[in-house]
Amino acid sequence: MLSSREKISIRQAVILFLMFVYSAAIRIFPAYAAKTAGRAGWLSPVVALLPFVCLVYIIQALFIDSKGANLSDIIYKTLGKFFGSAVITLYLVWLMISLGIIVRNFAERFLSSLLPSTPISFFTVTILALAFFTLRRGIVYISRTAEFLFLILTCIFIILFVLTIPNFEVINLFPVTYYDALPLIKSSYSVISIWSIFTFIFFFGDKINDKEHIKRFGLQGSVYLLITTMMLLIQTIGVYGYSVIERVPSAYAFVVKSISVLETIERIESIAVVSWVIADFITISVISYAIVSIIKSLFSLSDVKPFISPVMIFAYIFSLYIAQNKFELENFTSYISMPVNIILGFILPLVILIIKAVRRAA
Amino acid sequence: MVYLLLVIATVSISDIRDLVSQNRKKDLYVYAVFMLLVAAFAIFYFSDPARDSFSKIIFSIAGKGD
């Protein structure tokens, strides 16, 4: 039983992370894996698994003696007030930029696949208003909702995968030779950059119970990620081949549109759209909660609730300001978001852990 | 822009009333600064929505712009 009704379990936190990844994965992985690793692209999650497992161990080690703390507290404790504030501010700025990108991507996905002539503000305001009213109730409500929606999302994903099996061409996935090793390492870059989001969940680590089980649930989550990411890549590259997938803007939607059940049930992409909305809602809620938690830690405030509204309004404006078109948005994701995610999600936690170990030894 | 500023004003009044009733002065000051920055950002963006985007500015700083 949880020690407080205001807190979530580490299992729920990992589910929030998995739903967060889902949204970005279907948008980024297929095209990037196809472009960099060709027909071997479906193996890129295997290469990315080892760094992710390392990240799980890093996070576990950071929280080993600070079970009631969040990541901001650990950064302060390790780097001191001045450098700690600088690093936390860096995380705050980056997460606010990321929130704008996620909100914009949510709208762009609808504009490019279903409702091209609808004003973009309609989508952004709707999802932000929904996240705003849910967040006012706290992270516990979001986690419980996510726990339930996670099952639906997984079922939809598996059903769509099974329905795609008749369209698979083995020639699109094989042969894979040792010449593919280097391209595979390159293609795992996008996977690692998205999986590094795991770190950001711990900015509300003070709201997460039983952090001594980070390793256990983190490793279970990594197995889930490995299987589902491989399924996603097999589903996309396996149906159309890497040369098509690397050029298609929304590869997953493109594949789902091709599904035909007994030549009677077709155009079932609306089911996939439902899963995107669910995943994006959770993603926006989680990242917004991480932002307000950072603001709370940075200014030593008593509650996060009043700061949800400025963050949401900022997200609305920034989602419009981030890019003038989808092309700019995709470029920003490839050239800026991915490396910064790796630096802030993987490298900085490792640096903090090393400094913590050195200070303890001294 | 006017509608957005009205929304900002309405939300601010509601949140500030809550903060004042709970006597959380520090939270109130930080909140006011954040909301003013957001309002300034709204005026900045909506005064010319066709201005160079954030991505374009970042790329030109990084030397990848056109």
What pLDDT, on a 0 to 100 scale, did the predictor assign at position A283? Answer: 92
pLDDT tens per residue across span A79-112:
988 999 999 999 999 999 999 999 999 998 888 7
Residues 257-296 of A with CB under 8 A from B: 295
Considering the domain boundaries, does residue A57 fall inside one? yes
CB distance A307–B24 less than 8 Å? no
Q: Report residue A246 as tokens.
A: 């690397």
Q: Which of A175 and A82 is assigned the larger pLDDT?
A: A82
Residue A35 CB neighbours (<10 A): 19
The DSSP secondary structure of A249-318, one letter per residue, reads: TTHHHHHHHT-EETTTEE--HHHHHHHHHHHHHHHHHHHHHHHHHHHHHHTT-S-SGGGHHHHHHHHHHH
Name every chain A residue with its beta carbon within 8 A of the beta carbon of B45: 317, 320-321
Considering the domain boundaries, does residue B18 fall inside one? yes
Considering the domain boundaries, does residue A5 fall inside one? no
**Among A350, A340, A338, A288, residue whose Cα is nearest residue A90:** A340
pLDDT tens per residue across span A276-312:
888 999 999 999 999 999 999 999 888 888 899 999 9
Considering the domain boundaries, does residue A329 fall inside one? yes
Considering the domain boundaries, does residue B37 fall inside one? yes
**Cα-Cα-Cα-Cα dihedral sign, residues A143, A97, A121, A271:** negative
Q: Which of A94-108, A172-186, A341-355 comes out lowest in average pLDDT?
A: A172-186
The pLDDT of residue A77 is above 70? yes
Q: What is the CATH number of the domain that holds A269?
A: 1.20.1740.10
Instruction: Quote the minimal CA–CA distance from A317 to chain B in Å.
Output: 6
Q: Report residue A228 as tokens.
A: 């589902």
**Among A163, A172, A258, A208, residue whose Cα is nearest residue A13:** A208
The pLDDT of residue A4 is above 70? no
What pLDDT, on a 0 to 100 scale, did the predictor assign at position A349? Answer: 94
Considering the domain boundaries, does residue A182 fall inside one? yes
**Number of domains composing chain B:** 1
Is residue A8 classed as helix, strand or coil in its secondary structure?
strand
The pLDDT of residue A2 is above 60? no
Instruction: Quote the minimal CA–CA distance from A346 to chain B in Å.
Output: 23
**Number of domains composing chain A:** 1
Considering the domain boundaries, does residue A346 fall inside one? yes
Residue A196's contacts (CB-CB under 8 Å, 6 or more residues apart) are: A55, A341, A342, A344, A345, A346
Name every chain A residue with its beta carbon within 8 A of the beta carbon of B21: none
d(CA B58, CA B65): 8
Considering the domain boundaries, does residue B45 fall inside one? yes
What pLDDT, on a 0 to 100 scale, did the predictor assign at position B35? Answer: 93
What pLDDT, on a 0 to 100 scale, did the predictor assign at position B66? Answer: 54
pLDDT tens per residue across span B5-57:
898 889 889 889 988 898 888 889 999 999 999 999 999 999 988 888 999 99
Mean pLDDT across A36-53: 88
What pLDDT, on a 0 to 100 scale, did the predictor assign at position A209? Answer: 87
Distances, alpha carbon A48 to alpha carbons A41, A125, A225, A275, B31, in Å: 12, 35, 10, 24, 40
Residues of chain A with pLDDT > 70, as a percent, come to 99
Mean pLDDT across A143-155: 90
Among all chains, which residue has been given the structure tokens 């006017």?
B2
For residue A335, give the nearest of B31, B54, B64 by CB distance: B64
Considering the domain boundaries, does residue B66 fall inside one? no
Residues of chain A with pLDDT > 90, as a percent, come to 45
Distances, alpha carbon A95 to alpha carbons A63, A88, A142, A279, A289, in Å: 21, 10, 19, 17, 10
Instruction: Quote the minimal CA–CA distance from A257 to chain B in Å.
Output: 31
Domain span holding position B31: 2-61
Considering the domain boundaries, does residue B49 fall inside one? yes
What residues of B are in the A interface, CB distance below 8 Å? 4, 7-8, 11-12, 15, 18-19, 24, 26-27, 30-31, 34-35, 37-38, 41-42, 45-46, 49-50, 53-56, 58-59, 62, 64
Instruction: Quote the minimal CA–CA distance from B10 to chain A in Å.
Output: 11
Among all chains, which residue has been given the structure tokens 């998205």?
A194
Q: How confident is the model at residue A3 (pLDDT cuts 50, 70, 90)?
A: low
Considering the domain boundaries, does residue A2 fall inside one? no
Domain span holding position A106: 10-361
For chain A, give the mean pLDDT: 88
> What 3 state SS string does A162-201 have?
HHHHHHCCHHHCCCCCHHHHHHHHHHHHHHHHHHCCHHHH
